[in-house]
Structure 1
Amino acid sequence: MFVFCLGLSIAGAGAGCVVGDGAASFDAPPVSVRAAGTGSSTTGPATTGPATTGPAGDLVATWVDAVQGVYGNGLSAAALTRNALITNVRANPVMVSVPLATESYADEGGEPELRFQLRHEPTREVMRYLVSCALEEGQSVSYTDTSTGEETTFPGEIGICPQWAEGGIGAKCRQLLTACMLSRVNALGRHVTLSMRGQAFQEDRPELLTPAPSVRVVTVTEDGDPIPSFARCTTETSGASRDCGWTPGHIGTCTPGSYVYIGVGGEPLGDCEADPSSAAGLPQGDTVVRVCSGIRGCDSGSPDHIEPSEVRCSGRSEPALHFRCPVSGHFSVMNGPRTSGGGGAPGLGKVLGAALQKHKRFSVTSHVQPMPPPPPGAISIIEASFKPAEYPAPEARVFRWREGAFYGSFWGNKPLHHRLEEGMNEVTEDGEFHGAPGSGESIFRHAFACTGEYWTEQAAYVEARLCAGAGEDKDCVATSVGACGDAHSFTDCPPLDQCSVADGGRVEGDGDFQQCKGVLGGIWRHPITVYLNHPSDVIRASPFARMVSGALYVDAPLCPDPEDAP
């Protein structure tokens, strides 16, 4: 599985994340930059690898699971459609025939078609996400601008095609990487978390692009800014109301309106009281817990902060937290030591304590809200729809809205729009970028997108999702082909069944589209299917089936199959 925080922003200001195996938590794909004449490096929005300690405050660990992690995005559609590599007629075929490596792009000694192209900042954005999709942790590509001495390093993260570091890549890698980058475009410039599902190289990493058993709490805002509560405390601060020194836990699911109880420790919760006074006299534990509505962490004053009460549960010496499940049906758990921070570098005890803190386990139980008994013969709607709270919740339950599939290839047989000619979207040795005029349509001839069953006006949706500019200056990164499979007939029915397989066979039930068609026919065998936590995550005004208390509610029939039409 990979859950990606979306951020190929049309405005160029987006950020996002990806949840995938063995990764750390960022608000954008990391890029290290070393300025000329300096002896230290500064890292982008966040750094990879384990957490580090600073001169003040406790270590607040960056989560690295064996199951998944959170990656960040921020590439704009404008950069993807006007860059000096993929949309450069000369550079495009060369870059997939040589290693994705430092030597290939060097100003001195690199491939002639690739030299100097990374002097263009939007092209460096594209490289950042290309390396993020292709290479895995521990791999990287570096570039030194010989005109300024500035060095930039692009670390690998997801690892769809790590073999690209050694040599050219074939059609499967090209298609998977195209789908990876297309799916990370964000029209709103917001930090959007999404789930990406597909069939990669299962023999090497069978868990890649398949749903995981848990999802980490998102640690940045919709604007991509770090949530302050996950920063270190610079002074010693105590209690659950502090806005520093917290560690992200996992995301849980619950029935909206039901009562949820959560306790520290792996042992099951016994019978719990509803009255907060029941916790009187219980000793305070060494761990504080915060619960937030949705899939992000929160500060104490945030509207998403759920104010819980402490209650007594049988068989427990410490109080448990009691809260009402939010309308979203999702909650995020944060935890930390009761006291955090302090001057000076943390000693071994503090570091060890923080390391243990991040591996805290929690137990969760829930029950329906007490209600008056229904009239004879009637059924309580809440009871009928009640499902027990689950923590941590599996990825497939956190991300249930199938947005659609992205597929095609940025490389291959005449991949670029016919308006693009040699010399366009190219950087000269003096660093000047010669951009191409707008195409008015998709800049890539073989890049496509289809929508899931709950979306209408497919072409307009994909345009808002994947295009930048307007009129003749508009450039898109993919062409809309209609609905991937079925579609509800809210408005005019689109072309249906663009993908002949609605659930790829490698992981039964993960709902990944396969065998998808392009505009002129032909089958693309390596799409990536995107699932969202909420249907308006990527397009604020997107049309979709109504959602009641976190559940799908459809009041329109499916479009008729053309083969069944009279």
Structure 2
Amino acid sequence: MTYRIPGLLVFCLGLSSAGAGCTVADDGGASLGGPPRSTLGAGTGTATSVMDDMDLTGGSLVPYMDAVQAVYTNGLSAEALTRNALITNLRANRAMVMLPLATETYADDSEHEELLEHAWRLDPELLRYRLRHKETREVMGYLVSCALEQGQSVSYTDTRTGKTYEFPGEIGICPHWNEQGVHEGPAGAKCRQLITACLLALVNPTGRRITVSLRGQAFPNHRPGLLSPGPSVRVGTTTEDDAAIPSFGSCKSDTRGLSRNCGWTAEHVGTCSPGSTVTLGARGTPVDECDHRLPVAPGRSDDDTILRVCDGIHGCNAGSPAHVAQTEVRCSDRSEPALRFECPSSGYFSVMSGPLMSRRASGAPGKDGAPAPRKLAGFSVASRPPTAGPMPIGAGIVVEPAPFQPAVYPAQEADIFGWREGAFYGNFWTETNPLHEKLTPEMNEVDEEGNLYPAPRSGAVVFRHAFACTGEHWDDEIAYQKDRLCAGGDEDEDCVAHSVGACGDSYNITNCPPLHQCDLEDGGLVEGDGDFQECAGDGGTWLHPITSFLNDPVDVVRRPWLPVPGMPTPGGSGTSPLLPLCP
């Protein structure tokens, strides 16, 4: 089955899973939401099988533990990346990689005599006041997030106003940049290329923060598993408009019940076959012999665990469109009810948990009478196929439902982010001029008041050595480049990268792009994660790309999705072997 979005070709697929029918998982790790970030948690899990009177399908089990996730939110505007006082100012561009990515480097009174010693003989006070410019601070936030790790940060105090801005490290690709420059040696070159790829992958022209999975090969000895898909994904606690979801906030007074919109904890994301019936229970007891005729148990304790299920990969409030209708059921050998719900059309569900009674929070969690964060022993899940058969959509066309796959909870990151968007690579910081010829050294300067004196729009790609190639699903590389990588109007767009064609194969048989821009479709560091490696650009081969995977391909472009009428929403990962590829 085929769907079209301008610039994209996508396919209706069954969920890719490891065949898990029931998974029991320990709690741990942080939730997704807010600025780009990764999560490092700890925990181990066990798995049990489930069988009950519903003929629930499952039996092959997936053990689970929280680990480094490669999931982040992209929201860096193309406008900021193409017009800022650091990377797109030629003098600052050269200086910033010679110095540590640290607070003292960008202070209003900073002075770096070592800049005079370089062949470029840069002004020691060159980097003063640059973070007074709002869009430059936006770029700095993403730069620090890509380069530094949790626990590291850069801060800037505007001495005019006394206001301080904090830029926390999150992904941690080059944490050594916090101590020294990255302008020299093989490690410096690799760092600059990986940070370039990270920033490109986190550009989003829609003004929203979209969750993406980033995969590549960082410095494996520094942090094994970095930029590799993890065994689970935490539920998002903010919307794609970067608004906090109230249900994850503290309750202002003691509040009881399933419908409250406060006092909830973000759990994990699961996968299921759309239309299938899913039963989910907290703690490790299997959800077998469940009776839907007994939805409420008398005398429930205020400390009993309650659950909420939401459509997609983010949490939700009660009554919101994403809130999945659910019924509490009683299951044998379980002290607390389980939930039964119909799998949403997206094929993804997010789980929230909390006590039946959420107490008023009067201090930090676990202190001053405030409740400590709840830790659950695990979850059990089971599912049965949908009862709906083939669906007629007119003109004699009948749509067969996607093959049933058992529900998996928590689902693996690779199964939640299955749409391979493409690869990003290059270098924003090269010995030769890295910027378009129209950008002279005097352009994109900032004064002491924080006013930027921008370069005129180039109407082209601002960075000479930045590239993007597309995954196999895009059907119009030009439309993709404009929507994903450019800022400004149609006639004077500034773009952040050159679109070079398809990274590997392409299903766009009506207008085949240049193919196989990357020599490897799956880098060898983590087998099967689908990261492109050794990609072409500017007559050479770039060794440090980052590949972006999406949960929903419409997230990173500005045009609406136009599915074929009557078709269900695709879910999961993989490609269809029946559809032809470009020759």
Query: Which TM-score tier does this pair reach, normalised by the shorter chain?
Result: 0.7 to 0.9
The one of 525, 539, 542 equivalent to 1:524 is 542
Tell me the residue number matched to 1:117: 130
The one of 355, 359, 362 equivalent to 1:337 is 355
User: Match for 2:530: what amino acid?
Assistant: G
Question: Are positions 1:367 and 2:384 aligned together?
Answer: yes
The one of 33, 46, 50 equivalent to 1:26 is 33
User: Match for 1:89: what amino acid?
Assistant: L
In structure 2, distance between residues paired with 1:205 and 1:454: 32
Deviates more, 1:119-128 or 1:392-401: 119-128
Give SS of 2:90's match.
coil
Tell me the residue number matched to 1:438: 457
User: Match for 2:35: what amino acid?
Assistant: A
Question: Are positions 1:106 and 2:124 aligned together?
Answer: no
Instruction: Judge conservation of contact 2:250–2:360 (CA < 8 Å) in 1.
Output: no
Instruction: Judge conservation of contact 1:291–1:331 (CA < 8 Å) in 2.
Output: yes
Per the TM alignment, residue 222 of structure 1 is displaced from its structure 2 partner at its CA by 2.3
Listed as ranges, the gaps of 5+ residues in structure 2 are 1-27, 42-64, 113-124, 183-187, 391-398
Describe the superposition over 1:272-304 as per-residue Cα deviations: whole angstroms up to 9, x where unpaired: 34xx21445566361110001111111111111
Give SS of 2:484's match.
helix
The one of 163, 178, 188 equivalent to 2:196 is 178
In structure 2, distance between residues paired with 1:328 and 1:207: 28
The one of 283, 290, 293 equivalent to 1:277 is 293
Question: Are positions 1:550 and 2:573 aligned together?
Answer: no
In structure 1, distance between residues paired with 2:271 and 2:298: 28
The one of 252, 255, 279 equivalent to 1:234 is 252
Instruction: Judge conservation of contact 2:203–2:485 (CA < 8 Å) in 1.
Output: yes
The one of 272, 276, 284 equivalent to 1:254 is 272
User: Match for 2:379: what amino acid?
Assistant: F
In structure 2, distance between residues paired with 1:344 and 1:141: 31
User: Match for 2:172: what amino acid?
Assistant: G
Question: Are positions 1:541 and 2:565 aligned together?
Answer: no
Length-normalised TM-score, structure 2: 0.80
In structure 1, distance between residues paired with 2:296 and 2:36: 47
Listed as ranges, the gaps of 5+ residues in structure 1 are 1-20, 31-47, 50-63, 374-379, 561-566
The one of 287, 298, 301 equivalent to 2:305 is 287
Per the TM alignment, residue 556 of structure 1 is displaced from its structure 2 partner at its CA by 4.7
Length-normalised TM-score, structure 1: 0.82
User: Match for 2:107: what amino acid?
Assistant: A
User: Match for 1:365: what amino acid?
Assistant: A
Describe the superposition over 1:389-432 as per-residue Cα deviations: whole angstroms up to 9, x where unpaired: 10000000000000101110101032100011121001134543
| CA shift in 2, pair 1:477/1:250, >3 Å | same
In structure 2, distance between residues paired with 1:555 and 1:544: 22
Tell me the residue number matched to 2:499: 480
Tell me the residue number matched to 1:38: none
Tell me the residue number matched to 1:75: 76
| CA shift in 2, pair 1:233/1:368, >3 Å | same
Q: Which has the higher contact order (CA 8 A, sep 6+)?
A: 2
Per the TM alignment, residue 353 of structure 1 is displaced from its structure 2 partner at its CA by 5.0
Instruction: Judge conservation of contact 1:24–1:69 (CA < 8 Å) in 2.
Output: no
In structure 2, distance between residues paired with 1:296 and 1:342: 24
| CA shift in 2, pair 1:531/1:122, >3 Å | same
Tell me the residue number matched to 2:16: none
The one of 505, 530, 536 equivalent to 1:511 is 530
Give SS of 1:277's match.
coil
Give SS of 1:288's match.
strand
In structure 2, distance between residues paired with 1:428 and 1:352: 47
Tell me the residue number matched to 1:466: 485
Give SS of 1:124's match.
helix
In structure 2, distance between residues paired with 1:432 and 1:348: 45
Give SS of 1:175's match.
helix
Give SS of 2:172's match.
coil
| CA shift in 2, pair 1:478/1:544, >3 Å | farther
Write the mapping of 1:1-16 to structure 2, written as runs, cut at 5 A: none
In structure 1, distance between residues paired with 2:273 and 2:308: 19
In structure 2, distance between residues paired with 1:74 and 1:22: 23
In structure 2, distance between residues paired with 1:83 and 1:349: 43
Instruction: Judge conservation of contact 1:535–1:544 (CA < 8 Å) in 2.
Output: no
Question: Are positions 1:322 and 2:340 aligned together?
Answer: yes
Give SS of 1:500's match.
strand
Per the TM alignment, residue 314 of structure 1 is displaced from its structure 2 partner at its CA by 2.7
The one of 476, 501, 526 equivalent to 2:520 is 501
Instruction: Judge conservation of contact 1:404–1:452 (CA < 8 Å) in 2.
Output: yes
